[in-house]
Amino acid sequence: MFKIKNKSTDELIKLSSAIRERIISVVSKNGGHLSSPLGAVELIIGMHKVFDISKDPFIFDVSHQCYAHKLLTDRWDKFDSLRQFGGLSGFTKPKESDADFFVSGHSSTSISLSVGAAKASKLSGDGSVPVVMIGDGSMSCGLVYEALNELGDLKLPVVIILNDNEMSIAKPIGAISKHLSRLLAGQTYQTFKKKIDKILTKYVPNSGRYIAKRMEESLLLITPGIIFEEMGCTYIGPIDGHNIKEIIDTLNIAKNMQKPVIVHARTTKGKGYKIAEGHFEKWHGVGPFDISTGEQLNKKTKKDATTIFSDALLDLASKDETIVGITAAMPSGTGIDKLIKKFPNRFWDVAIAEQHGVTSMASMAKKGFKPFVVIYSTFLQRAFDQIVHDVCLMNLPVSFAIDRAGIVGADGETHQGQFDISYLRILPNMTIFAPRDDETLKYAVEFSANINSPSAFRYPRGSYKQLKCPSTTFEYGKAELLQDSDSDKVFIGFGSGVATAYETAEFFDETITIADLRFVKPLDEKFLIELSKKHKSWFIFSDSQKSGGVGSALLEFISCKNLDVRLKIFEYDDIFVQHGEKELLLESLGLLPRQIADAIKNNPHL
């Protein structure tokens, strides 16, 4: 690990420049998060200077900003492997380093983790102080306030660095607020406050203490920290999140307070790389790019599924004023930014508040609207209870457009879209279907809008593969035979699995029957029964989890109907899929078409 405890401020400033150069160099080649890690460099250096990484839990919210932390903890030489298959994760990962306290890839868990760590510290008496870095965007999630509520009550020693790089929690009022914030951050004010509290407690009647308390609160009212103070946490700031001396001085004060402290630090996203500095969403997560120009390399030549979906929904919303929708902090990632811009009164970004977003759309459905909830598969997990309690129980026509279904690649196990079929299929009243190509994705949008009950359709990150079969509209609960033959084998695909079925079939000399299941709930029972009369070997292809997935649904059906067929499932095993290039991940799972074909040919029982 870097020995920075005895380094001077000037040495730390030079170190921050070296770290930025390393981050820019690697991310320009590998892709990854860029603007957030660059903006957090000095704050992370300050954390390592003031706190003891061998004892104090370092907790990063989401943790996409943790690259400087990785570079300071024995991963400088390995950093070239960032987000590559078998290399460093783009997020904190304890299996990778003891310096990483927790796996983190979803927002707003950090303060809850710090409360647990502080409780453990108190019980064990190890004297550790958890230190948290959380971005201001994460403060839109209710989990943060649940944690702050308990932390403020328990008064356990936790230091929370609020990395404010996009927006203020509450806009400060001019120069007076800035001056008062500096005063509140200083040791002089904090010492004075403690002395006054002791004097008031001992000598001043209750009425006097009340007046004094109100005077202090009147100062806080014109600073951004009143909400934290009201929740029982001391607020310090705003401070300059790129001034290393100010950061270190402030963190030392906060650590020595031995109670919950919020340190509000103002930073610039993309700091040190001029092209990316400021609030540019496109620099949050990037593919490989040219450092000198900022131009993205390997640009897409084909429309991706997200663009196909958003264009289709925009067209539908232009014709039907009852179409409304939300996304959760991913307007451009889901393509909903176009609809928010055109229909600001009908489409909303609810921020990192998936639970609220789903329930609010349930209410709109109750009032006669046709809501679309557009969220990545991995983040929709956060709203599971709301889907159960507020949508399915009421049998309301909310459409769930599930982006990033299946393997997403370099973001890894916290972001793979592998579980949505498994956790939605168990719910009464839910319809689950999947398009297989660009055109059927367009059909899926219109079809979902016209279902008078909850429905969910899923589509992958990136582009669909071109298929040999024509695109057809959806008929409720109906599967489709795409290629017939006299073979005993039938390849049954679902969604992107249809393309895998076709590619796998090319490795066989015989013509293979291929079917698109289209609906995993409800299943097309009549179609499947007829299929079983002619084809006794079924092979299932879907980019989802095997446990509770498409194959599981078919096994349940086969068992229930006592069908005489053999079934082999090609879905993800009972693991969390790691990070890396999609093709390499599929190869590691044995799910490339050539591997599947070999597995079928080499098993005489199939």
Domain CATH number, residue 594: 3.40.50.920
The pLDDT of residue 143 is above 90: yes
Q: Are 41 and 55 in contact (CB under 8 A)?
A: no
pLDDT for the residue numbered 169: 43
Let me know whether 148 and 176 are in one domain.
no
Task: Please state, in angstroms and rounded to a whole number, the distance separating the CA atoms of residues 543 and 405.
Answer: 7
Reported as a pLDDT band with limits 50, 70 and 90, residue 176 is very low
Alpha helices in 463-549 (DSSP H): 497-505, 525-534
Task: Please state, in angstroms and rounded to a whole number, the distance separating the CA atoms of residues 604 and 179.
Answer: 79
Reported as a pLDDT band with limits 50, 70 and 90, residue 230 is confident
Let me know whether 310 and 397 are in one domain.
yes
End-to-end CA distance of the chain: 53
Let me know whether 214 and 358 are in one domain.
no
Let me know whether 196 and 107 are in one domain.
no
Let me know whether 362 and 438 are in one domain.
yes
Q: Which residue has the tokens 């009201």?
A: 230
Reading phi first (left if > 0) and then psi (alpha if -120 to 50, else beta), residue 481 is in: beta
The pLDDT of residue 152 is above 90: yes
- Tokens representing residue 299 in the block: 């640009």
Let me know whether 20 and 128 are in one domain.
yes
Quick: pLDDT tens for 584-598.
999 999 999 999 999
Let me know whether 49 and 163 are in one domain.
yes
Let me know whether 249 and 119 are in one domain.
yes
Reported as a pLDDT band with limits 50, 70 and 90, residue 73 is very high
Q: Which of the 8 DSSP states describes residue 266? A: E
Quick: pLDDT tens for 83-116.
999 999 999 999 999 999 999 999 999 999 999 9
Reading phi first (left if > 0) and then psi (alpha if -120 to 50, else beta), residue 406 is in: left
Reported as a pLDDT band with limits 50, 70 and 90, residue 204 is low
pLDDT for the residue numbered 170: 45
- Tokens representing residue 271 in the block: 């700091």
Task: Please state, in angstroms and rounded to a whole number, the distance separating the CA atoms of residues 28 and 15.
Answer: 20
269 is a catalytic site residue: yes
Alpha helices in 259-389 (DSSP H): 305-319, 331-334, 337-342, 354-366, 377-380, 384-386
**β-strands 32-33, 285-286 pairing:** antiparallel
Q: Are 183 and 235 in contact (CB under 8 A)?
A: no
* The domain boundary residue, chosen from 431, 460, 489: 460
Reading phi first (left if > 0) and then psi (alpha if -120 to 50, else beta), residue 88 is in: beta
Other CB atoms within a 10 A radius of the CB of residue 192 amount to 12
The pLDDT of residue 193 is above 80: no
pLDDT for the residue numbered 181: 56
pLDDT for the residue numbered 479: 98
Is 161 part of a structural domain of the chain?
Answer: yes
Is 134 part of a structural domain of the chain?
Answer: yes
The pLDDT of residue 27 is above 70: yes
Is 124 part of a structural domain of the chain?
Answer: yes
pLDDT for the residue numbered 128: 97
pLDDT for the residue numbered 281: 72
354 is a catalytic site residue: yes
Domain CATH number, residue 388: 3.40.50.970
| Among the ranges given (151-160, 298-307, 334-343, 439-448), the one the predictor scored with the smallest mean pLDDT | 298-307
Quick: pLDDT tens for 489-510.
999 999 999 999 999 999 999 9
The pLDDT of residue 136 is above 90: no
Let me know whether 40 and 156 are in one domain.
yes
Reported as a pLDDT band with limits 50, 70 and 90, residue 299 is confident
Could you give the strand order of the β-sheet that contains 513-516, starting from the edge strand earlier in sequence? Answer: 480-483, 513-516, 489-493, 537-545, 566-572
Selected catalytic residue, list 255, 269, 271, 521 = 269
Instruction: Kindly report whether the global pTM for this prediction surpasses the value 0.85.
Output: yes
Q: What is the mean pLDDT of residues 526-545?
A: 97
Q: How far is CA 256 from CA 259, 271, 396, 533, in A?
A: 8, 29, 53, 75
Q: Which residue has the tokens 């190890």?
A: 126
Task: Please state, in angstroms and rounded to a whole number, the distance separating the CA atoms of residues 399 and 375.
Answer: 11
Let me know whether 189 and 259 are in one domain.
no
Q: What is the mean pLDDT of residues 350-373?
A: 97
pLDDT for the residue numbered 425: 98
Is 471 part of a structural domain of the chain?
Answer: no
Q: Which of the 8 DSSP states describes residue 196? A: H
Q: What is the mean pLDDT of residues 64-79?
A: 96
The pLDDT of residue 10 is above 90: yes
pLDDT for the residue numbered 205: 58
Is 473 part of a structural domain of the chain?
Answer: no
Q: What is the mean pLDDT of residues 257-286?
A: 89
Let me know whether 252 and 132 are in one domain.
yes
510 is a catalytic site residue: no
| Among the ranges given (154-163, 282-291, 403-412, 549-558), the one the predictor scored with the smallest mean pLDDT | 282-291
Chain mean pLDDT for the chain? 91
Selected catalytic residue, list 49, 75, 382, 489 = 382
- Print the domain residue range for 214: 172-223
- Phi, psi of 516, rounded to the nearest 5 degrees: -105, 115
The pLDDT of residue 197 is above 70: no
DSSP-derived secondary structure for 407-424: ---TTGGGT-B-SHHHHH
The pLDDT of residue 223 is above 80: no
Task: Please state, in angstroms and rounded to a whole number, the distance separating the CA atoms of residues 551 and 493.
Answer: 10
Percentage helix, strand, coil for the chain under 3-state DSSP, each rounded to 5? 45, 15, 40
The pLDDT of residue 358 is above 50: yes
Range list of β-strands (E), 438-531: 455-460, 480-483, 489-493, 513-516, 519-521
Nearest to 416 by CA among 401, 431, 437, 402: 402
pLDDT for the residue numbered 172: 47
Is 466 part of a structural domain of the chain?
Answer: no
Q: What is the mean pLDDT of residues 408-423?
A: 96
Residues sharing a CB contact under 8 Å with residue 379, sequence separation 6 or more, in sequence order: 106, 328, 330, 354
Nearest to 496 by CA among 228, 292, 304: 304
Burial 489-498 (b: 16+ CB within 10 A, else e): bbbbbbbbbb
Length of the chain counted residue by residue:
606
The pLDDT of residue 185 is above 70: no
Q: Which residue has the tokens 């001029």?
A: 274
* The domain boundary residue, chosen from 428, 460, 492: 460
Selected catalytic residue, list 42, 166, 229, 354 = 354
The pLDDT of residue 526 is above 60: yes
pLDDT for the residue numbered 237: 85
Is 300 part of a structural domain of the chain?
Answer: no
* The domain boundary residue, chosen from 460, 492, 515: 460
What angle do the packed helices 41-50 and 9-30 form, to 10 degrees?
Answer: 130
Residues sharing a CB contact under 8 Å with residue 266, sequence separation 6 or more, in sequence order: 164, 165, 237, 238, 239, 240, 241
Give the chain's domain count: 4
The pLDDT of residue 472 is above 50: yes
Q: Which residue has the tokens 């029964």?
A: 529
Q: How much of the chain exceeds pLDDT 90, in percent?
A: 82
Q: 215: exposed, middle or buried (C-beta count within 10 Å: 0-12, 13-18, 19+)?
A: exposed
Is 437 part of a structural domain of the chain?
Answer: yes
Task: Please state, in angstroms and rounded to a whole number, the distance separating the CA atoms of residues 87 and 78.
Answer: 8
AA identity, residue 51: F
Let me know whether 508 and 413 are in one domain.
no
Range list of β-strands (E), 169-246: 234-240
Q: 602: exposed, middle or buried (C-beta count within 10 Å: 0-12, 13-18, 19+)?
A: exposed
Q: What is the mean pLDDT of residues 46-53?
A: 97
